[in-house]
Every structure is written in C-alpha cells, then in structure tokens.
Amino acid sequence: MKPIILVIFDGLGDRPIKELGYMTPLEAAVTPDLDKLAELGITGMLHTIERGVRPGSDVAHLALFGYNPKFYYAGRGPYEASGYGIDLMEGDIAFRGNLGTVDDNFIVVDRRAGRIESSDAFAEKINGLEIDGIKVIAKAGLNHRIAVVLRGQGLSEKITDVDPHVVNKPLKKCLAKFDGDDKAKFTAKVVNKLIDKAHMIFKSHPINKERAKKNLPLANCLLLRGAGRMAKYESFQEKYNLRSACIAGAGLYKGIAKIVGMEIIDVEGANGKANTNVVGKINKAIEMVKVYDFVFVHIKATDSLAEDGKALEKRDFITRADKALFPLIPLVEKREIILAVTGDHSTASDLKIHTADELPILIAGFGVRTDRVKSFGERSCQSGGIGHMEGAEDLMDMLINLRGDTKLYGN
C-alpha cells in the first residue's frame, strides 16, 4: 500500500486583491512546484464543512481527518491544550486563550497584546493556582497564545466566552449557557475568579513594566474562549487502520492530531510563523512515509498573514513555501506516494477573517487519473476533475480508495 502525505496550508484560499491585479495571493504567487503537482494530478474545489459555512480551523481539521464535527466537536479548548503539551484527563475543561490588553475600564483594546513574543512567563504565574477546589493548569503557546485547563469535580463546558472576540468591547463575564445548570454556574464562577486573579498578577509583572516604558500594549488580561470537555476519541488507527503522524508548528494542529492518536514529529525551526522551516517539514514527511502510512503536514503562516491583512506577504510566503515542495514531485511522478494539497478554510486578506469561500485541492500520485488543469489556484481548479467537494470527510475516503484499501460495499 502506498503512503499518504496530506499538506494543509492554513487559510490558503483568499479573494481577489486590488494590489495584486485582482488575483488572489495564491494566484499571484510564483508556484512552479504546486503547478507541476496540479498538472500531475487531479484538482477541484473543496468546502471543508458545506457551502455557506465559515469554518474554524478546529472543525475544518476534524473534517479533513474524517471526523464529522457534528458528532466529534466539543469546543476548541481541548485541542489547543493538548497541542501545547498538557496531558488531558477525561472530564477536564480546557480553554484556548490569548494574552490581551485591557484599559482601566476593562475595554479590550488589543486581543493579542501586540502579538507579544512569548506568554511563558505569564502562564507560569497562573499554573498551579487553586480556585474553589479546582486546579488551574496553564501552558504557553505561540506568541500571545495560552492554554488553560480546569481540573476537578462539578465542572461543565456549557459556559460562555470571556473573550469578546473583537476590540473596543468590554471584557465579558463568564456565564452558564442555561438557567438551572448548577455545574455550569460553578464553572463560570471559577473562570471569573481566575480572570480577576490573572489580571492582578499580570498587570504588575516585570515584563509589563518594561513594555510600558516602550509604549507597547500590556499583556494584562487573560482572554478565554472555546471551553470544551475532554472526551475519548476513536483513534486514527482504529478508524482507518493507518499508522499516522503529524508535522506542525502551531499547538492547535498538534493537539487535534494528538487527540485522534497521531504521533507528533518535531522538526527544528517548525514554529507556525512566516519563518517556519517548511523545507524541514517536507523533508521530514518524506522520511516519515518509510515508517507511517499517513503523514499530515501543517503550514500556518498563510492564515496568520491574511488575518493581519498582509496579502502581499501571504503571496510571498506561498512563493517561498512552494520551493519546499519540489522533493515531492519525483515521488509523485514515480507513483511512490499519494499526495493531497489543500487548505482548511479560506482567509480573506481584505476582511482579515475566515470566509466560507471554497478552496483549491489537488491529489496526485499513485492511482490518480489526471485532468487538464496545469496550475494550482482558486480559479484554475474550478475546472478540475474532482469538481466540488462538500464536506472534507470525503477526502479521507478518496485517499484510502487510491491506496486500494476501501471496504467493499455489498457483495
């Protein structure tokens, strides 16, 4: 059976940009290797959930791995926390979080504290706190990101976010989603006490005193969202009988992969940023297909740059990343692997948000019947042989079928 490599460019899709001559960043990028792979394979367009649905990265990746979010999704927190290295226990309530900046009236003026370089020192200050008999576990993620877990009895994930999700809005109080839910009310009370305590600890931190001198946004607030209860998942091995591995820099994607049972493979310099070691990721993936049946490679910066409104930088990053894909071409030409390249969602650089716009996808290598498409982009792939896929769950079925490993339906 041939091994599968799945390369996901986070937020790959985009919209036509005036500064790029009304091309998308992907269309404007110089991508001879992606174009060659498209020529060698079959292409199409993908909605990771369904038409008109604007997916988060968490539900989109669950769908890409064949786990229907309608049944498996329980909030982003557990995936983020797992990806940051917290060993979750069944029943833990986990949150994704940011270090943010609030003014004296608790108005959120920056949701990322100026994209502070590290949250390590702040996570250490609240890790191990105990509030009303509940243990707080905190661990730093990339830049401003931080994961928080509540562990103890009588907890519920059915609570609201503290993070208002936009700037110039007040910090929210955590509330139970439903009246009469005593566990949720208790959990909300613990969260609100944690937010108050974190603010008192953070605002006097020496790092913030230095940031104040430099007129930088203070990391004086803990913005929590995406509460989820850790539950047991059917593993990738159980679901597909595939030995699987994940190569990623950002915590969320490691977390999702870890929870579904993928092995996490570290690559030096893989950091989820625009300077991530894409070459190292692809080379490691090629090495790992000698050991694993399925290797997932995640590339984050396409999304982050678009969320910052940096369409030209997104174009330039795609150009740089394209060069790293060159070693995959001989393996595809020799039919030694099955390769899929797509995104998890579109991120519009002009809007700085995820959109429900469909994504280009290519599949190449062993067993693939090619089409006439010779370039990889949002518009060129519209005429590809795959057509339009609704729901990324179909992707795993297609890849397993190419391996010749699909179970027979009927006799």
Torsion 233-238-239-244 (CA) sign: positive
Q: Is residue 410 part of a domain?
A: no
Same domain for 296 and 167, yes or no, is no
Can you give the pLDDT at residue 357? 98
Same domain for 136 and 36, yes or no, is no
Same domain for 212 and 105, yes or no, is yes
φ/ψ of residue 319, rounded to 5 = -60, -45
Same domain for 217 and 246, yes or no, is no
Q: Is residue 411 part of a domain?
A: no
Q: How, if at all, do strands 42-47 and 359-365 pair?
A: antiparallel
Can you give the pLDDT at residue 80? 87
Q: Can you read off the two tokens belonging to residue 19? A: 């500064």
Can you give the pLDDT at residue 217? 96
In whole angstroms, give the CA distance from residue 129 to residue 225. Answer: 19
Same domain for 240 and 225, yes or no, is no
Q: Which residue, chain included where needed, has tokens 């394979």?
A: 41
Q: Single out the residue in 229, 249, 281 at which a domain terminates.
A: 229
Cβ-based neighbours of 384, under 8 Å, separated by 6 or more: 42, 43, 44, 45, 362, 371, 373
Same domain for 68 and 87, yes or no, is no
**Percent of all residues in the chain with a pLDDT value above 90, rounded to a whole number:** 91
Q: Single out the residue in 229, 248, 267 at which a domain terminates.
A: 229
Q: Which amino acid is at 105?
A: N
Helix (H) or strand (E) holding 95: strand 93-102
The CATH number covering residue 262 comes to 3.40.720.10
Same domain for 174 and 53, yes or no, is no
In whole angstroms, give the CA distance from residue 278 to residue 270. Answer: 7
Q: Single out the residue in 196, 229, 262 at which a domain terminates.
A: 229
Q: Is residue 296 part of a domain?
A: yes
Instruction: Enter the pTM of the model.
Output: 0.88
Q: Which residue, chain included where needed, has tokens 């270090």?
A: 99
In whole angstroms, give the CA distance from residue 43 to residue 59. Answer: 23
Beta strands in 272-407 (DSSP E): 294-299, 338-343, 346-348, 353-355, 359-365, 387-390
Q: Is residue 409 part of a domain?
A: no
Query: Is residue 143 predicted with pLDDT exceeding 80?
Result: yes
In whole angstroms, give the CA distance from residue 142 to residue 293. Answer: 29
Q: Is residue 118 part of a domain?
A: yes
Can you give the pLDDT at residue 43? 98
pLDDT (average), residues 96-123: 95
Look over the chain and give the mean of its residue pLDDT values, rounded to a whole number. Answer: 96
Q: Is residue 20 part of a domain?
A: yes
**Which domain does 133 fall in, by range?**
80-229
Query: Is residue 141 predicted with pLDDT exceeding 90?
Result: no
pLDDT (average), residues 255-284: 95
pLDDT (average), residues 242-262: 94
pLDDT digits (tens, 9 = 90+) for 281-338: 999 999 999 999 999 999 999 999 999 999 999 999 999 999 999 999 999 999 999 9
Same domain for 319 and 250, yes or no, is yes
Q: Which residue, chain included where needed, has tokens 């900046």?
A: 101
Q: Is residue 377 part of a domain?
A: yes
| Helix extents (H) in 22-56 | 25-28, 32-40
Same domain for 253 and 371, yes or no, is yes
Same domain for 84 and 70, yes or no, is no
From residue 183, how far is each of 94, 133, 282, 396 by CA, in Å?
15, 14, 46, 38
Helix, strand, coil shares of the chain, percent, nearest 5, are 35, 25, 45
Cβ-based neighbours of 31, under 8 Å, separated by 6 or more: 318, 319, 322, 375, 376
From residue 299, how far is each of 10, 121, 138, 156, 408 by CA, in Å?
6, 27, 25, 33, 35
Total number of domains constituting the chain: 2
Same domain for 155 and 183, yes or no, is yes
Q: Is residue 265 part of a domain?
A: yes
Same domain for 104 and 150, yes or no, is yes
